[in-house]
Amino acid sequence: MNLLYQSQRAMRAKREEAMRRGVVAVLDIGSFKIACLVLRFDEMDVTPGDGIGAMAGQAGFRVIGAATTRSRGVRFGEIDTVQETERAIRTAVQAAQKMAQTRVDHVIVALAGARPRSYGLDGEAVLQTGTVEDSDIARVLAACDVPDLGHGREVLHAQPVNFSLDHRTGLADPRGHVGSRLSVDMHLLTIEAGAIETLLHCVKRCDLELAGLASAPYVAGISSLVEDEQELGAACIDMGGGATSLSIFIKKHMIFADTVRMGGDHVTSDISQGLQIPMPHAERIKTRFGGVMATGMDDREIIELESETGDWHHDRRTVSRSELIGVMRPRVEEILEETRARLDAAGFEHLPSQRIVLTGGASLLPGLDGLASRILGNQVRLGRPLRVQGLPQSACGPAFSACVGLALFAAHPQDEWWDFETPADRYPARSLKRAVKWFRDNW
Amino acid sequence: MRPLIARRETGPVPLPRPRPDPAPSRLTYRAQRLWLTPFFRMILRVGLPVFAMLFAALWFATDEEKVNALRDQVAEVRREIEDRPEFRVNLLSIEGASPAVTEEVRGALALDLPVSSFDIDLEALRARVEALPAVASASVRIAGGGYLSVDVAERVPALIWQTRTGTVLIDAEGHFVAALADRVPEAPLPMVAGAGADLAVDEALRLLAAAAPLGDRVRGLVRVGQRRWDVVLRDGPRILLPAAAPRAALDEVLLLQDVQQILDRDLVRIDMRNPSRMTVQLTPDALETLSLQRSGQIPVGDERG
Q: Which residue has the higher pLDDT, B239 or B85?
A: B239
Predicted local confidence at residue A13, as pLDDT: 84
Predicted local confidence at residue A54, as pLDDT: 47
Query: How many interchain CB pairs under 8 A, A with B?
Result: 62
Predicted local confidence at residue A323, as pLDDT: 92
Considering only the beta carbons, identify the residue of A88, A278, A301 that sits closest to B23: A88
Residue A25's DSSP bridge partners are A38, A107
Whether B24 sits inside 8 A of A207 (CB atoms) is no
* Domain residue spans of chain A: 117-191, 264-326
Q: Which residue has the higher pLDDT, B179 or A97?
A: A97
Predicted local confidence at residue B183, as pLDDT: 75
Model ipTM value: 0.76
Enumerate residues 6+ apart whose C-beta is below 8 A from B259: none
Nearest CA in chain B to A282: B15
Which of A34, A86, A90 to mutate against chain B (most B CBs within 10 Å)?
Answer: A90
**CATH 3.10.20.310 domain position(s) in chain B:** 85-154
Nearest CA in chain A to B16: A280
Predicted local confidence at residue A208, as pLDDT: 92
Considering only the beta carbons, identify the residue of B8, B11, B33 that sits closest to A207: B33
Predicted local confidence at residue A324, as pLDDT: 93
Whether A101 sits inside 8 A of B36 (CB atoms) is yes
Indicate whether B248 pLDDT > 80: yes
Predicted local confidence at residue A359, as pLDDT: 93
How much of chain B exceeds pLDDT 70, in percent?
Answer: 93
Residues in chain A, total: 443
Enumerate residues 6+ apart whose C-beta is below 8 A from B273: B228, B240, B241, B242
Most confident stretch, A162-171, A255-264, B169-178 = A255-264
pLDDT band at A56 (very low <50, low <70, confident <90, very high): very low
CB A208 within 8 A of CB A93: yes
The whole-number average pLDDT for the span A317-335 is 93
Tell the CATH topology of A117-191: Dna Ligase; domain 1 (3.30.1490)
The whole-number average pLDDT for the span B132-157 is 81
Among A101-115, A301-315, A399-413, name the one with the lowest average pLDDT.
A301-315
Among A259-268, A390-399, A408-417, B278-287, name the one with the lowest average pLDDT.
A408-417
**CATH 3.40.50.11690 domain position(s) in chain B:** 157-295
Predicted local confidence at residue B88, as pLDDT: 81
Q: Does A22 touch chain B (CB under 8 A)?
A: no
Whether A101 sits inside 8 A of B33 (CB atoms) is no
Whether A280 sits inside 8 A of B26 (CB atoms) is no
Predicted local confidence at residue A297, as pLDDT: 87
DSSP A127-191: -SSSB--HHHHHHHHHTS------TTEEEEEEEEEEEEETTEEEES--TT-B-SEEEEEEEEEEE
Indicate whether A294 pLDDT > 80: yes
Strands (E) in A180-276, as ranges, are: 181-192, 209-215, 234-239, 244-250, 253-260
Whether A91 sits inside 8 A of B22 (CB atoms) is yes
CA distance B2 to chain A (A): 18
Which residues of B fall within a CB distance of 8 Å from A72? Answer: 21
Which of B5, B26, B37 to mutate against chain A (most A CBs within 10 Å)?
Answer: B26
Indicate whether A9 pLDDT > 90: no
Whether A87 sits inside 8 A of B23 (CB atoms) is yes
pLDDT band at A46 (very low <50, low <70, confident <90, very high): low
Indicate whether A93 pLDDT > 70: yes
Most confident stretch, A375-379, B98-102, B167-171 = A375-379
Whether B24 sits inside 8 A of A69 (CB atoms) is no
Q: Does A90 touch chain B (CB under 8 A)?
A: yes
Which of A70, A81, A82, A94 to mutate against chain B (most B CBs within 10 Å)?
Answer: A94
Decide if domain B85-154 falls under CATH 3.40.50.970.
no
Whether A98 sits inside 8 A of B32 (CB atoms) is yes
The whole-number average pLDDT for the span A243-253 is 91
List of long-range contacts for B195-199, beta carbons under 8 Å, 24+ apart: B195/B163, B195/B223, B195/B226, B196/B223, B196/B226, B197/B159, B197/B161, B197/B221, B197/B222, B197/B223, B198/B161, B198/B170, B198/B174, B199/B174, B199/B226
Which residues of B fall within a CB distance of 8 Å from A285? Answer: 13
Indicate whether B303 pLDDT > 60: no
Among B70-79, B108-117, B203-212, name the one with the lowest average pLDDT.
B108-117
Given the candidates 1.20.120.160, 3.40.50.11690, 2.60.120.10, 3.40.50.12160, the CATH classification of the domain at B157-295 is 3.40.50.11690
Mean pLDDT of chain B: 83
How much of chain A exceeds pLDDT 90, in percent?
Answer: 37
Indicate whether A25 pLDDT > 90: yes
CB A358 within 8 A of CB A367: no
Indicate whether A52 pLDDT > 70: no
Predicted local confidence at residue A339, as pLDDT: 94
Which residues of A fall within a CB distance of 8 Å from B8? Answer: 289, 301
CA distance B53 to chain A (A): 28
For A396, the 3-state DSSP assignment is coil
Tell the CATH topology of A264-326: Nucleotidyltransferase; domain 5 (3.30.420)
Indicate whether B54 pLDDT > 80: yes
- pLDDT, tens digit (0-9, with 9 covering 90-100), for A125-142: 888 888 888 788 888 888
Q: Does A102 touch chain B (CB under 8 A)?
A: yes
